[in-house]
Amino acid sequence: MAIARSIIADSPLMVNRVIGRYMNPIALCVERLSLMPDLAELEHWDSRYREGRPPWDTGRVSAELQRRLAQFEIPPCRAIEFGCGTGTNAIWLAQQGFDVVAADLSPLAIQQARKKAEQAGVAVLFLQADVTELPDLGPPFDFFFDRGCYHAVRRSKAEEFLQQLDRVTSPDAWGIVLTGNSRESRQPGPPTVSEDELRRELGRSFELVSLEEFRFDQEEPDGHRHLGWSCVLRKKPRR
């Protein structure tokens, strides 16, 4: 049986102690950080989870994440997920042997993710945090996954997000980013990004090893599945 604990972290130093002491044996949720996000922004995302399951949080593991991991034979390693929602993909990564930290701005989403990790019997460190102001999380990550966080955050905090992404990832780190595609903009639907924007922004610190179009898993009431970009990235050597 998995042991689940709820830990209140009052500082980045406390987060480090939590990670170092508890990461392997238990499912965790860090519920509060000293770097508090904008309350209006937090309430916006929290309300989406109070109203029911948001369209991006299907409860199913991303088929594109599974396909890309297998395609490039990315081995289990220390990993972080940005915008983890209720934790479905983070939990699946942990089940594959990854040592996972997952962050989301919504306290309600993180609370639900913690319960799911406990039920699944896996160890995942869930952080309620602003991904543009992450605390010190210890050693850098060798893999990151982003399904829809980047394309939302970049509208107002692209520079801050890209700096954090570069800071927390290791040399030669792999990444998979799934984002809306500007070649097909539809409402309601995900924020969209052009190929040029992807290459200019993510290409600053990462090589775009593979860029393909795909369809997101979730379906609209009319059966439509939104067009996206599937990006596989590799950290560029430091100059």
pLDDT digits (tens, 9 = 90+) for 223-234: 888 999 999 999
Alpha carbon distance 208, 231 (integer Å): 7
* Contacts of 89 by beta carbon, 8 Å cutoff, 6+ apart: 61, 62, 65, 81, 145, 147
pTM for this structure?
0.81
Reading the chain (239 residues) residue by residue, the pLDDT tens digits are 232 333 333 333 334 334 443 343 333 434 333 344 566 666 655 566 667 666 667 889 999 999 999 999 999 999 999 999 999 999 999 999 999 999 998 889 999 999 999 999 999 999 999 999 999 999 999 999 999 899 889 888 999 999 999 999 999 999 999 999 999 877 776 889 999 999 999 999 999 999 999 999 887 777 888 999 999 999 998 77
Residues 67, 160, 57, 108: is their CA dihedral positive or negative? positive
In the chain, the domains with their CATH numbers are: 4-235 (3.40.50.150)
